[in-house]
């Protein structure tokens, strides 16, 4: 979604805004803009396209100590200069992340007073605040009133042209943090934007209004009483949001996977003991049914774990897309656990799905990467993914962290349900020791995936096929491929292909077959051969052990072989090579790997 930054202090605000917007660009990159104060006057510059275009259009020598900036992922109106933020109406200038749901009604009323220039809901919010300020003659009261009137989600950073040394901020269901340090203060969508300056921040809550000055921040509740905020500390450094020598964040983040695994192991099960896992995660023995909810890759992580929970922990699992769960009839059960998976912890559909589950009094567990995000705070319990900042729009390390956490949970549940003995559970856990090393080995073999990518990058269609857990892995691998390379790619259950979709296989169509389950390997391989017979080029993705059975059967054109691992951990090793394959395909096609078209990292709208 959109990225917001506000700065007041002694540095050159323009420089702070541009560098912060670059860190926030993963949230949207259709257009960007800045409003800054020079000689007691507000200047607004907006440009279509990436932040670098805005930067190139700003004069080098602007000295300004107060500014707000925005990078946009368009929701209302085209990504052009008029619709870009900041918007200014009367004395009010603001940037917005979210969606104002009642903007059509509000616009009708406000049109009597204001002439609107853009197609955005944001300009309407700006006019409303200006109108309320004129009416109340009090900015804080105007903002509290605006919060009562606006429906939808919003994070707003606001300047009033009659008070050019102060920023104001309000939010609802879109994230916003505040920070102050050494005579300068910030408003930002997330910590990535300001990590260069500080790692301490406050979370602004729904019922609060912030007044942000150079020498400090005052936060009021909705009765306009000053409240004391508790500082949060981000446990990381500014290098977390830098490429550290890699060409793209996606490549850097795939390399981070090794440390993410180490971090998860050291934090939750350093001695590979199921009892320490229980101490850190809790006791799940009372649950007889699990519902897992997420969007995109988080949903796919749920699908992978469904196979594991059901097969090896004997617990039935429903996996739901959050956007569907929100609007469907559900059948809550007494001992049901609802698990919400989200990297950002701010995805609007997942957040609403959580609220729906809570409305039915179901126990909720968030598996979340971003600390203190909305879903983390609203879930009954939370397990953090510990993947660090993820900047590339296409998730890699955070998805794998989600799968690993779910795998650990499945081992724990299997133990608590007496499906596994303590010894068996600990045997599985002790194999975690090798996970970082095996992942590193895969990352070191990048050129193998690059060679395969070179053979397939010109194709227009491809298929990922597999059965059961391999099908769930196909869904993630296929999403990765299509979102960054723009090649049309489908994940298909291998046995289902012949019921229609096989008609799309042509001479040289790449078919990537994932085969890890020994008991059904021959079935999937028959399906792969059916596509081969119709001209497909086959990339087989399998384990060392299974490959031995098939190496003399020349049905594949290329092969990716990973180490045979235990059933809980094997999926992790399958995905890393396929993430790398997508990366190289996109690289050969010359696409914007970290910022694929039409996408944004944190989807805070419905
Ligand atoms: C794909 C991707 C998305 C996210 C989805 C959910 O690479 O990143 O599909 O997985 O938008 O986002 P979170 O996990 O933040 O809820």
* Signed CA dihedral, 422, 426, 429, 431: sign only: negative
Alpha-carbon separation of residue 67 from 85, 372, 540 (angstroms): 13, 26, 53
| Separation CA 441–CA 497 (nearest Å) | 33
The proportion of the chain whose per-residue pLDDT surpasses 90, expressed as a percent, equals: 84
Tell me: pLDDT of 599 over 90.
Answer: no
pLDDT at position 74: 80
Written as six digits, the tokens of 130 are: 């200006």
> Is the distance from the beta carbon of residue 477 to the nearest atom of ligand 1 less than 6 Å?
no
- Residues forming the active site: 2, 601
Residues 6+ apart with CB under 8 A from 51: 18, 21, 22, 25, 29, 32, 71
Tell me: pLDDT of 59 over 80.
Answer: no
Index of the ligand 1 atom closest to the CA of residue 398? 14
> Is the distance from the beta carbon of residue 402 to the nearest atom of ligand 1 less than 6 Å?
no
pLDDT at position 219: 98
pLDDT at position 15: 86
> Is the distance from the beta carbon of residue 350 to the nearest atom of ligand 1 less than 6 Å?
yes
Helical H segments across 269-295, by residue range: 274-281
pLDDT at position 234: 87
For residues 321-348, average pLDDT = 96
Residue range 479-505, pLDDT digits in tens? 999 999 999 999 999 999 999 999 999
At residue 542, φ and ψ (nearest 5 deg) are -150, 180
In terms of phi and psi (left: phi > 0; alpha: psi -120 to 50; beta: otherwise), the region of 39 is left
For residues 578-605, average pLDDT = 90
Spacing, Cα 104 to ligand 1 middle (Å) = 29
- Would you say 474 and 465 are in contact if contact means Cβ atoms under 8 Å apart? yes
Alpha-carbon separation of residue 409 from 14, 89, 292 (angstroms): 46, 52, 13
Written as six digits, the tokens of 423 are: 């010894």
H or E element at residue 480:
helix 469-485
Spacing, Cα 395 to ligand 1 middle (Å) = 7
Residue with the smallest CA separation from ligand 1 atom 1 is 394
Residues 6+ apart with CB under 8 A from 212: 6, 8, 166, 167, 168, 169, 178, 180, 185, 186, 187
Tell me: pLDDT of 395 over 70.
Answer: yes
> Is the distance from the beta carbon of residue 391 to the nearest atom of ligand 1 less than 6 Å?
no
CB neighbourhood size of 239 (10 A): 10
> Is the distance from the beta carbon of residue 354 to the nearest atom of ligand 1 less than 6 Å?
no
Written as six digits, the tokens of 449 are: 């995936």
The mean predicted confidence, pLDDT, of the chain is 94
Residue range 272-307, pLDDT digits in tens? 999 999 999 999 999 999 999 999 999 999 999 999
Residues 6+ apart with CB under 8 A from 50: 25, 29, 32, 595
Tell me: pLDDT of 27 over 90.
Answer: no
> Is the distance from the beta carbon of residue 169 to the nearest atom of ligand 1 less than 6 Å?
no
| Separation CA 141–CA 568 (nearest Å) | 55
- Would you say 170 and 156 are in contact if contact means Cβ atoms under 8 Å apart? yes
Written as six digits, the tokens of 544 are: 């060392």
Tell me the pairing of strands 177-181 and 184-188: antiparallel
For residues 190-194, average pLDDT = 90
pTM: 0.88
3-class state of residue 179 by DSSP? strand
> Is the distance from the beta carbon of residue 120 to the nearest atom of ligand 1 less than 6 Å?
no
Sole residue written with tokens 């830098």: 242
Spacing, Cα 298 to ligand 1 middle (Å) = 6
Index of the ligand 1 atom closest to the CA of residue 394? 7
> Is the distance from the beta carbon of residue 343 to the nearest atom of ligand 1 less than 6 Å?
yes
| Separation CA 460–CA 474 (nearest Å) | 18
> Is the distance from the beta carbon of residue 291 to the nearest atom of ligand 1 less than 6 Å?
no
Index of the ligand 1 atom closest to the CA of residue 602? 15
Spacing, Cα 268 to ligand 1 middle (Å) = 24
Index of the ligand 1 atom closest to the CA of residue 370? 15
Peptide bond connecting 86 to the previous residue in cis, omega within 30 degrees of 0: yes
pLDDT at position 412: 98
| Separation CA 478–CA 303 (nearest Å) | 14
- Would you say 539 and 452 are in contact if contact means Cβ atoms under 8 Å apart? yes
Spacing, Cα 79 to ligand 1 middle (Å) = 22
- Would you say 17 and 4 are in contact if contact means Cβ atoms under 8 Å apart? no
With the most atoms of ligand 1 within 8 angstroms of its CB, the residue from 249, 347, 384 to mutate is: 347
| Separation CA 373–CA 292 (nearest Å) | 19
Residue with the smallest CA separation from ligand 1 atom 3 is 296
Tell me: pLDDT of 29 over 90.
Answer: no
Across the strands, what pairs with 382? 366
Spacing, Cα 493 to ligand 1 middle (Å) = 22
Spacing, Cα 453 to ligand 1 middle (Å) = 24
| Separation CA 95–CA 536 (nearest Å) | 50
> Is the distance from the beta carbon of residue 188 to the nearest atom of ligand 1 less than 6 Å?
no
Spacing, Cα 343 to ligand 1 middle (Å) = 7
pLDDT at position 470: 97
Index of the ligand 1 atom closest to the CA of residue 399? 10
Identify which has the larger pLDDT, 12 or 458: 458
For residues 213-229, average pLDDT = 96
Tell me: pLDDT of 602 over 90.
Answer: no
79-82, long-range: CB within 8 Å, 24+ apart, which pairs? 79/30, 79/31, 79/48, 80/31, 80/48, 81/31, 81/46, 81/47, 81/48, 82/117, 82/118, 82/119
Burial group, residue 190, by CB count within 10 angstroms (0-12, 13-18, 19+): buried
How remote is the C-alpha of 185 from its chain's centroid? 26
pLDDT at position 551: 82
pLDDT at position 61: 65
* Signed CA dihedral, 17, 19, 20, 26: sign only: positive
Q: How is the beta sheet containing 558-562 ordered, strand by strand?
A: 488-493, 461-466, 510-515, 537-543, 558-562
Residue range 544-568, pLDDT digits in tens? 999 998 888 889 999 999 988 888 8
pLDDT at position 179: 97
H or E element at residue 6:
strand 3-8
> Is the distance from the beta carbon of residue 373 to the nearest atom of ligand 1 less than 6 Å?
no
């Amino acid at each position: 979604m959109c990225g917001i930054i506000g700065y007041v202090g002694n540095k050159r605000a323009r420089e702070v805004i541009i560098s912060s917007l670059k860190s926030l660009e993963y949230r949207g990159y259709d257009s960007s803009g800045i409003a800054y104060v020079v000689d007691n006057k507000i200047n607004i510059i907006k440009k279509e396209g990436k932040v670098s275009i805005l930067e190139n259009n700003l004069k080098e020598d602007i000295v300004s100590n107060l500014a707000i900036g925005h990078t946009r992922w368009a929701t209302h109106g085209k990504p052009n200069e008029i619709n870009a933020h900041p918007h200014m109406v009367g004395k009010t200038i603001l940037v917005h992340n979210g969606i104002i749901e009642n903007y059509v009604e509000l616009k009708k009323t406000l049109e009597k007073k204001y002439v609107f220039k853009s197609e955005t809901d944001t300009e309407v919010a700006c006019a409303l605040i200006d109108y309320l300020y004129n009416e109340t003659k009090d900015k804080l009261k105007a903002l509290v009133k605006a919060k009562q009137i606006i429906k939808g989600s919003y994070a707003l950073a606001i300047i009033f042209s009659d008070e050019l040394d102060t920023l104001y901020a309000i939010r609802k269901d879109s994230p916003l943090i505040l920070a102050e340090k050494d005579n300068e203060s910030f408003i930002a969508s997330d910590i990535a934007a300001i990590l260069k300056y500080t790692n301490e921040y406050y979370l602004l809550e729904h019922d609060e209004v912030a007044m942000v000055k150079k020498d400090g921040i005052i936060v009021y509740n909705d009765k306009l009483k000053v409240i004391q905020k508790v500082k949060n500390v981000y446990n990381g450094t500014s290098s977390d949001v830098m490429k550290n020598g890699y060409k793209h964040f996606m490549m850097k983040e795939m390399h981070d996977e090794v440390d993410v695994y180490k971090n998860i192991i050291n934090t939750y099960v350093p001695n590979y003991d199921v009892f320490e896992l229980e101490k850190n995660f809790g006791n799940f023995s009372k649950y007889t049914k699990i519902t897992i909810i997420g969007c995109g890759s988080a949903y796919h992580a749920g699908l992978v774990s469904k196979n594991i929970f059901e097969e090896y922990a004997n617990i039935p699992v429903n996996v739901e897309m959050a956007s569907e769960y929100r609007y469907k009839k559900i059948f809550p059960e007494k001992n049901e656990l609802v698990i919400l998976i989200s990297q950002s912890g701010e995805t609007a559909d997942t957040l609403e799905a959580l609220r729906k589950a809570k409305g039915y009094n179901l126990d909720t567990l968030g598996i979340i990467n971003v600390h203190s995000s909305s879903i983390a705070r609203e879930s009954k319990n939370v397990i953090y993914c510990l993947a660090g900042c993820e900047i590339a729009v296409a998730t890699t390390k955070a998805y794998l962290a989600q799968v690993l956490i779910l795998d650990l949970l499945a081992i724990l549940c299997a133990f608590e349900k007496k499906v596994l003995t303590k010894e068996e559970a600990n045997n599985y856990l002790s194999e975690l020791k090798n996970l970082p090393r095996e992942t590193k080995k895969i990352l070191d073999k990048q050129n193998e995936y690059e060679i395969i990518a070179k053979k397939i990058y010109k194709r227009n269609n491809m298929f990922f096929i597999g059965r059961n857990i391999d099908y769930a892995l196909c869904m993630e691998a296929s999403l990765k491929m299509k979102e960054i390379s723009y090649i049309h790619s489908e994940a298909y259950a291998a046995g289902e292909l012949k019921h229609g979709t096989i008609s799309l296989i042509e001479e040289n169509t790449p078919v990537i077959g994932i085969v890890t389950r020994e008991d059904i390997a021959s079935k999937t391989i028959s399906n792969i051969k059916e596509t081969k017979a119709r001209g497909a080029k086959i990339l087989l993705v399998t384990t060392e052990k299974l490959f031995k059975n098939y190496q003399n059967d020349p049905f594949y054109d290329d092969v990716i072989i990973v180490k045979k691992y235990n059933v809980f951990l094997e999926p992790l090793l399958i995905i890393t090579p396929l993430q790398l394959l997508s990366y190289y395909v996109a690289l050969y096609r010359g696409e914007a790997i970290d910022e694929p078209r039409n996408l944004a990292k944190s989807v805070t709208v419905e």
